[in-house]
Amino acid sequence: MGSAITSRRKMRSFILSPYRLCYMNRDKTLYTALAMVSLAFAFFWLPVPRLFDVACILLILLFVPATMSPGSHELRKDPLIILGMCFFLYIVISIVWHRLTLPDNFPPTTSDRRFLRVLYFIAIAYAISRSSWLTVWHVLAVAFGGLLAYLAISFDQTEWLLAWHGQRADFGIHNAQHTGVVFATCALSFGIFTPRFYQWVKQASPVIALVSALIWTTALLFSLWGVFVSQTRGVWLGLGVAALFFPVILGFAYKLNRKFPTSLRKPVLGGIIGIAALSILAAGFNLPSRVSERLAAEDVTWESLRQAAAHETQQLSSIEVRVASWSAAAGWIMEKPFMGWGGRGSRPLIRQSELFSDEFKKNYNHLHSSYLQVLVEIGLIGAMLIVALMALLGHATIRGYQRQLMPLDIFLFSWLFFIFWLVVNVFESYIIYPSGTYLVAIVAGTCYSFCVNKQKPPG
């Protein structure tokens, strides 16, 4: 009897093995394609936006079948994927609801779907973790290479000369606010990963070490220079707040593991030397006075802010434009608190409002805050789902670091970027722009890949 059962099991295993092999080969092909699309996503955002849009579509078209594969039970149990599916369902319901309930003077739209871009990072994370050749460092290097390629393609000598002499520049990356967050993210990554680079360069030959150190230092200084010439105060504030929280995050990391994988003495010494060098460089370019000029560029008082919030004046500075937008948004949120006004709903709301001048309506069609943009367009329910996604991602990074799946520098980078991103999104609606789509996908995707990594050692 026992031998008969064993024989049947062996026969079933023999019959099913070709199918299993077929599924394994299909999954391998899917993840190879997904890895290549992830690199295209990382590179083409600025150099070739149309190819970037194609990569966005392919990320979804490849990742959804991967999650449905019979061998992907682990993916279907991932809380982030489950919540992402719930968010997708909500957006579908939201589109239908807005079609049925919005006033006739609102154009029909399916633009709610653009908020689904916050899910791209999940596909990139699994592309990295399931690939036999793609790593976080490939993605980050290709992303920076895409920025350099764009700057070379769109080179404008006049703008670069003005930027070199301290004038504000955006290099064509939508506007200076978006240029600032791009360069600030580069500066964060180069700064945080410098100790890792130091460990690597010690093992290289003297010539390679010297050339690599020059390239790395140039890239870091170039990123910081880009932050300066963008002259975006929200970005400066975001970096400042992140820097203030750095000791707190470092202490939290120590509390989680009670030890660091390497001695911090040399990295800290290197950081002090780097700060000293930057201070000398800043003094040479007279940066303090230029930063002070930018900070004092607008004459804003409590009374002028009150007038902007009450819409009592039409002549608005940059800060007052934001205050006026936020004040109006509060009323719109109260009118439709749960599901909002639909994707791009802020456009007709601003256009049809009597609170704003014709010049304001011509120049602005968004709310200058990701938080208010989400609440106005997809409501409190949509906002709560996005907050839940962020909370799950944060919990995953903590668990990944505790289980030693995530290196210390990745953990620090993820949380410093998160704090920086929280601050800058107070002052601009990055969530609805490609810059926000791209940076969140690249940073969150590379960080989350360590949390779902079961094959490759961390680091």
At residue 48 the predicted structure's pLDDT band, cuts being 50, 70 and 90, is very high
pLDDT at res. 72: 77
Of 300 and 21, the one with more pLDDT = 300
Whether the Cβ atoms of residue 98 and residue 110 lie closer than 8 Å to each other: no
Start-to-end Cα distance in the chain: 52
At residue 19 the predicted structure's pLDDT band, cuts being 50, 70 and 90, is very low
| For range 361-381, the mean pLDDT | 94
| For range 396-423, the mean pLDDT | 95
Assess whether pLDDT exceeds 60 at residue 261. Answer: no
pLDDT in tens, 374-402: 999 999 999 999 999 999 999 999 999 99
pLDDT at res. 187: 94
Using CA atoms, how far residue 278 sits from 167, 195, 217, 284, 416, in Å, is 20, 17, 11, 10, 20
Backbone angles phi, psi at 285, to 5 degrees: -90, 5
- Round the average pLDDT of the chain to a whole number and report it: 87
| For range 320-341, the mean pLDDT | 94
At residue 147 the predicted structure's pLDDT band, cuts being 50, 70 and 90, is very high
pLDDT at res. 16: 43
By three-state DSSP, how is residue 149 classified?
Answer: helix
pLDDT at res. 270: 58
Amino acid present at 299: D
Smallest CA-to-CA distance from 242 within 413, 389, 119, 108 is with: 413
pLDDT in tens, 177-232: 999 999 999 999 999 999 899 888 888 888 999 999 999 999 999 999 999 999 89
321 CB-contact burial (10 Å; exposed 0-12 / middle 13-18 / buried 19+): middle
Question: Which residue has 């989350």 as its token pair?
Answer: 448
pLDDT in tens, 304-315: 889 888 888 888
Q: State the Cα–Cα distance between residues 58 and 44, nearest whole angstrom.
A: 13
Q: How many CA atoms lie within 13 A of 264 on its CB side?
A: 12
pLDDT at res. 265: 61
Of 299 and 272, the one with more pLDDT = 299
- The token duo for 149 is 């390629």
18 CB-contact burial (10 Å; exposed 0-12 / middle 13-18 / buried 19+): exposed
Query: What's the DSSP call for residue 453?
Result: -
pLDDT at res. 78: 93
> Would you give the distance in Å from CA 189 to the centre of its chain?
12
Smallest CA-to-CA distance from 353 within 380, 335, 378 is with: 335
Whether the Cβ atoms of residue 180 and residue 227 lie closer than 8 Å to each other: yes
Q: State the Cα–Cα distance between residues 378 and 334, nearest whole angstrom.
A: 13
Q: State the Cα–Cα distance between residues 459 and 261, nearest whole angstrom.
A: 11
Assess whether pLDDT exceeds 80 at residue 20. Answer: no
What's the pTM? 0.90
pLDDT at res. 107: 76
Q: State the Cα–Cα distance between residues 370 and 422, nearest whole angstrom.
A: 9
Residue spans of beta strands (DSSP E) within 31-189: none
pLDDT at res. 67: 87
